[in-house]
Structure 1
Amino acid sequence: MEQSSRILIVGGTGYIGRRIVKASIALGHPTFILFRKEVVSDVEKVEMLLSFKKNGAKLVEASFDDQGSLVDAVKQVDVVISAIAGNHMRHYILQQLKLVEAIKEAGNIKRFVPSEFGMDPALMDHAMAPGNIVFIDKLKVREAIEAAAIPHTYISANIFAGYLVGGLAQLGRVMPPSDKVLLYGDGNVKAVWVDEDDVGTYTIKAIDDPHTLNKTMYIRPPLNILSQKEVIEKWEKLSGKSLNKTYISVEDFLAGMEDQPYGEKIGISHFYQMFYKGDLYNFEIGPNGVEASQLYPEVKYTTVDSYLERYL
């Protein structure tokens, strides 16, 4: 029997990284988690790392300020998955350029998954500023990966359910509103809503699959391709409550955006791309793309209906 690939996860204590760690361990991969020495002062992250260690993961200390330590970490594994947080006020995504150099120097990696997990940056050259910086940074990492001829898989995971399903896609809210809800445009633009644990599972499934080699894998569970209005209706049916609905035009939605803090501007511009432009689902998957739920029908993904039940 072929041995499971050894996986190094960078950003393993982060929001999506912890799900990838969980899936890697559950699916039987020798799992290595890179951690920086600064983490020793963060009790919650230390406790998380220790829980991973208890479940069989190996902790590997390295630093983006010490290229040799990155190379040493990479040499211990077959696959590297980056789940670095996308704080674009600090350009954390671009830290992966050092990781690309380490992978290139080590010369042993058979697959690299960079930190993307949202909209496909290759399709977002029309994106509104300042949210476009997210896609610009991710494309810089892609360019470095491909220039170094590193085998790779890009993951487009669309909407993280925890951020937008529970709050019915209300800006700044992650729990269902009790009385009223705002709909973007007519509320009928299709989006794709994905449970974060499923993102972890599909990601680990992809790392040894030749069908995903040097391709973009889109996670589009068919029952979760829904408009904002359809998600709201599902909540109303489950909760037995009817919400007062206000429809907001694109002009009104964007009004006053310039007066918002930089981070808020990024969030507003991404909402515009998702719920007005329809950039999560307004394209056909091309020859350099594959769809996760078709590749791995054995994965019993979480539907929006079942996800919403936790809020009852």
Structure 2
Amino acid sequence: MEIKSKVLIVGGTGYLGKRLVKASLGLGHETYVFQREDMGVDIEKVQKLLSFKKKGAKLVIGSFNDHQSLVNAVKLVDVVICAISGVHIRSHQILLQLKLVDAIKEAGNIKRFLPSEFGTDPARMEDAIEPGRITFDDKMVIRRAIAEAGIPFTYVSANCFAGYFVGGLCQPGFIIPPTDRVSLHGDGNQKSIYVDEDDIAMYTLKTIDDPRTLNKTLYIRPPKNILSQREVVEIWESYIGKELDKFEISKEDFLASMKGAKYEEQVGLTHYYHVCYEGCLANFEVGDDAEEASNLYPDVQYTSVYDYLKRYL
């Protein structure tokens, strides 16, 4: 009988975290969810945690301000997955993850750590423009800390979350597909990669007992979902039976429009720029130091963009 790892998920009540908990339980892992003792009166988080408990997860109470509580939580498991939600300003996320790395190092029992990445591979974004590069620089700080501590790892590059990109036909600030007009990034022909968030969670959990992904980056690149913005728009047009009015935004105009936005918004728009104008997600081949998820796990029936868009009809 296959022995499955015990898993601790930090950030389990978040957007991706709750899906990681679901996938972990679904695959039969003994699943622990870190419960911050200082969460205050956030009733929605409490209700989520209680729902996890009802489904079989074990809640571990601790605090990032209490190093020993982190060490004690880590000692309960074999694998730690961090899903602390991304913050577009340096401080919160990076500091919490560094505390977690210290706890994992001291505990000394973890056979795999998956830090909170799940987007664009930061190792490929050395030339990212400001202010968005702060996100990639912060992730590299965590990677260096993991390397210095000698912690076994898997980095997950999940590319574009479908809910944020596909829902709004790749338009920043939109999560519902329009029925009249759409703005294209340039000519709209740069390829991107879109992944359903539940699929991200399933692929992630598949890696944790797989020796092929140890100390490597896992790229989630479902073949049917490597599409340009224009192709995503055309799929939606085929469903609604009409052609949308299209307005092309040059990269110069896009960059100029960022200047009046709030700092946090500028960070997010910078990411859109690299994805949609430079094609940074699909313009390289997966190397020997990485693996591609759909090749490793063909049994995962991932959601295609075609099927994802049907929910909006």
**TM-score calculated relative to the size of structure 2:** 0.98
Q: Where do 5+ consecutive residues of structure 1 fail to align?
A: none
Q: Secondary structure of the residue that 2:8 maps to in structure 1?
A: strand
Alpha-carbon distance between aligned partners in 2 of 1:157 and 1:150, rounded to the nearest angstrom: 21
| 1:1-312 matches, cutoff 5 A | 1-89=1-89, 91-94=91-94, 95-312=96-313
Amino acid at match of 1:129: E
Q: Secondary structure of the residue that 2:192 maps to in structure 1?
A: strand
Report the count of equivalent residues.
Answer: 312
On the 8 A contact 2:38/2:63 being kept in 1, the answer is no
Q: CA deviation at 1:3?
A: 2.2
Q: CA deviation at 1:40?
A: 4.8
Alpha-carbon distance between aligned partners in 2 of 1:219 and 1:100, rounded to the nearest angstrom: 24
On the 8 A contact 2:183/2:248 being kept in 1, the answer is yes
> Deviations along 1:145-175, whole A, 9 cap, x unmatched?
0111100000000000011101101111100
Q: Percent identity?
A: 61
On the 8 A contact 1:5/1:78 being kept in 2, the answer is yes
Alpha-carbon distance between aligned partners in 1 of 2:257 and 2:183, rounded to the nearest angstrom: 17
On the 8 A contact 2:168/2:175 being kept in 1, the answer is yes
Amino acid at match of 2:110: I
Q: Secondary structure of the residue that 2:47 maps to in structure 1?
A: helix
Range with bigger deviation, 151-160 or 92-101: 92-101
> Deviations along 1:2-59, whole A, 9 cap, x unmatched?
3210000000001111110000000000000001123351111111111110000000
On the 8 A contact 2:89/2:134 being kept in 1, the answer is no
Query: Runs of 4+ in structure 1 displaced over 6 angstroms?
Result: none
Alpha-carbon distance between aligned partners in 1 of 2:240 and 2:27, rounded to the nearest angstrom: 35
Q: CA deviation at 1:88?
A: 2.6
On the 8 A contact 1:40/1:46 being kept in 2, the answer is no
**TM-score calculated relative to the size of structure 1:** 0.98
On the 8 A contact 2:167/2:176 being kept in 1, the answer is yes
Q: Secondary structure of the residue that 2:311 maps to in structure 1?
A: helix
Amino acid at match of 2:115: P
Alpha-carbon distance between aligned partners in 1 of 2:91 and 2:21, rounded to the nearest angstrom: 23
C-alpha RMSD of the superposition = 0.9
> Deviations along 1:186-211, whole A, 9 cap, x unmatched?
10000000000000000000000000
On the 8 A contact 2:90/2:134 being kept in 1, the answer is no
Alpha-carbon distance between aligned partners in 1 of 2:83 and 2:261, rounded to the nearest angstrom: 28
Q: Secondary structure of the residue that 1:187 maps to in structure 2?
A: coil
